[in-house]
Amino acid sequence: MMKCAVVTGSNGFIGKAVTERLLSRDVHVYAIDLNAESAVLHNDLDYIRCDFAEISSASDAIKTIPDAFFAFAWAGSAGSARTDYALQLDNARYTADCVSFAKNIGCSRFIGAGSITETETRLAVLAQNNKPAMPYIYGTGKAAAHEIGKCLSADLGVDFLWATITNAYGPGERSPRLLNTTIRKMLSGEKLEFTAATQRYDFVYIDDVAEAFCLIGEKGHPFCEYTIGSGTAQPLRLFIEEARDALAPGAVLEFGALPFTGIDLPATAFDIEKLRADTGYDPSVPFNEGVRRTAEWISGD
């Protein structure tokens, strides 16, 4: 059982949710973030403001050897910053630096946050005769962090676990990613244009994501990769229609209005059975309930 953990990127969408879930489990958290103030206040939380280019400077503030190190710090995970190759390469390097930092503070268990974009990127970038789009630079950065981090961990004697998130959503998200933007457009009555939306997708509510990371930290097997999802992957169109029915009944959805330039991922990319088997993970928030909660938060924000 975890008694102490480090969380980097603790003020971000997922980092904050995991920090709060760990604290609810009576885990002492060293929360490391670049922002001036912690987004979470708790007696069992020590907040450390730190530039990740200088992560080693945080070592003096950590007084207890952590049981787990959760790495969420990542700049440019949405929007045009996904195409910034210097930024994404720095992200990968900082993740590797965090592995070394975990070793230096005596932590023997490292949990990295991956993205399903890694799988899509490999298919798009390595395909013969395909001209991949610039946003795949983000996925390349994530893949580099995953692979370099795993090699480095093996060399240093740190147990490495990697969690691939399908598509997290929920209260607290402010990014321009697809579902968040769509919910906001539905609430404001804006035009709703999409691709044909026949590609396979999955969305997982932020509370389930946070619980999954806690379970991986406690029960995940060393040097294994886990997919965090809802377990109900389906064509994107069905998710969009369900969100419309929950938030804006009668709203017109213009499928096919936008071109689709991505990759239709295989069902295996969304398989959460290993996570279920190894940790007991059981997602609990249905999609229609999750979008309602998200919409309520957006309306009151």
CATH number of the domain to which 118 belongs? 3.40.50.720
Is residue 83 within a helix (H) or strand (E), and if so which, with residue range? Answer: none
What backbone phi and psi angles, to 5 degrees, belong to 253? -105, 120
Looking at residue 36, its pLDDT comes to 80
| Cβ neighbours around 261 below 10 Å, total | 11
> Residues near 17 by Cβ (< 8 Å), separated by ≥ 6?
170, 172, 206, 207, 209, 210
pLDDT of residue 184: 98
How many other C-beta atoms lie within 10 A of the C-beta of residue 202? Answer: 23
Full pLDDT tens readout for the chain, 301 residues: 899 999 999 999 999 999 999 999 999 999 999 988 898 989 999 999 999 989 999 999 999 999 999 999 999 999 999 999 999 999 999 999 999 999 999 999 999 999 999 999 999 999 999 999 999 999 999 999 999 999 999 999 999 999 999 999 999 999 999 999 999 999 999 999 999 999 999 999 999 999 999 999 999 999 999 999 999 999 999 999 999 999 999 999 999 999 998 899 999 999 999 999 999 999 999 999 999 999 999 999 8
Spatial distance between the Cα atoms of 213 and 70, rounded to a whole number of angstroms? 8
Decide if 28 is inside a domain: yes
Domain span holding position 44: 4-165
CA distances from 230 to 49, 166, 217, 243 (A): 33, 9, 19, 15
pTM of full prediction above 0.75:
yes
The CA distance from 109 to 161, in Å, is 8
Residue 243, in any domain of the structure: no
Instruction: Return the DSSP state at 235.
Output: E
Closest of 231, 234, 235, 254 to residue 244, by C-alpha: 254
Residue 120 CB-density burial (10 A; 0-12 exposed, 13-18 middle, 19+ buried): buried
What is the reported pLDDT for 289?
A: 98
| Position 198 in a domain | no
Q: Which two tokens stand for residue 187?
A: 């609430």
Instruction: Give the helix/strand (H/E) hosting 15.
Output: helix 13-24
Q: What is the pLDDT of residue 261?
A: 87
Provide the domain count of the chain: 1
Is 135 inside any structural domain?
yes
Q: Is residue 9 part of a domain?
A: yes
Q: Please indicate, yes or no, if residue 214 is contained in any of the structural domains.
A: no
Given a contact cutoff of 8 angstroms between Cβ atoms, the answer to whether 167 and 115 are in contact is no
Over the Cα atoms of the chain, what is R_g?
Answer: 19
- Beta strand 45-49 with 200-201 is unpaired
Strands in the chain per DSSP E: 4-8, 28-33, 45-49, 68-71, 109-115, 159-165, 168-169, 200-201, 204-205, 224-228, 234-235
176 belongs to a structural domain:
no
